[in-house]
């Protein structure tokens, strides 16, 4: 079976990722994703009915990118660990990595004074100054990273699943691995 080569998308912190710019209307996002089709639309957060989620992919039933809109504008993007583009930051891949390796990368940037790293209530590392949260996605090969990125207007407390702007659906599922803790947490009701 032939594997599709994943495209590289550069994260420009707080501004955009790959061909997508935060603040862009849905029609422009759709036009900016050649080779990807809209797979489904869904209500992304039960507490905020105005947040629209849209999955895009190159094959049916295999979402590559989840895009989130408020007031018709893109504010959040998540890349699937298996089918999504390779998200790069400073030359380092963020997608489909071993969680501990990527956490070390972020902590190194923190120690060097490049960015401030924080952890949300569910244990996910991230950096508000980058508009970046690292999530874990279960894959056939084990847990892998799923980067979730937000624009400047939505970056404050982005690692905080209670007060940040990232939709509830992105927090459900496997938690960041920590010894002695459950790896799954149900979505909050």
pLDDT tens profile 113-172: 889 999 988 888 999 999 999 999 999 999 999 999 999 999 999 999 888 999 999 988
Share of the chain above pLDDT 70, in %: 91
| Distance (Å, whole) CA 174 – CA 186 | 9
pLDDT at 181: 46
Q: Percentage of residues in the chain with pLDDT exceeding 90? A: 75
Q: Distance of alpha carbon 93 from its chain centroid, rounded?
A: 13
Model confidence at 81: pLDDT above 90: yes
Residues facing residue 16 across a β-bridge: 12, 21
**With 60 as the cut, is the pLDDT of residue 10 above it?**
yes
- What is the reported pLDDT for 115? 92
Please determine, for residue 42, whether its predicted confidence score (pLDDT) is greater than 60: yes
Q: What is the C-alpha separation between 49 and 59, in angstroms, rounded? A: 28
For the cut 90, the answer to whether the pLDDT of residue 97 exceeds it is yes
Per-residue pLDDT of 153-166, as tens digits, reads 999 999 998 889 99
């Amino acid at each position: 079976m032939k594997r599709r080569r994943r495209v590289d998308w550069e994260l420009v912190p707080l501004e955009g990722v790959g061909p997508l710019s935060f603040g862009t209307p849905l029609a422009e996002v759709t036009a900016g994703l050649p080779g990807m089709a809209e797979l489904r639309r869904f209500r992304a957060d039960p507490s905020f009915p105005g947040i629209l989620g849209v999955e895009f992919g190159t094959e049916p039933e295999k979402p590559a990118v989840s895009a989130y809109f408020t007031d018709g504008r893109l504010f959040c993007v998540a890349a699937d660990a298996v089918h999504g583009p390779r998200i790069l930051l400073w030359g380092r891949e963020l997608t489909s990595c071993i969680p501990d390796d990527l956490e070390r990368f972020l902590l190194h940037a923190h120690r060097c004074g490049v960015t401030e790293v924080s952890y949300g209530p569910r244990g996910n590392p991230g950096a508000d100054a980058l508009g970046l949260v690292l999530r874990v996605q279960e894959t056939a090969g084990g847990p892998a990273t799923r980067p979730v990125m937000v624009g400047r207007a939505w970056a404050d407390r982005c690692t905080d699943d209670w007060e940040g702007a990232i939709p509830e659906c992105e927090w459900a599922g496997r938690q960041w691995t920590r010894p002695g803790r459950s790896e799954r947490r149900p979505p909050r009701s």
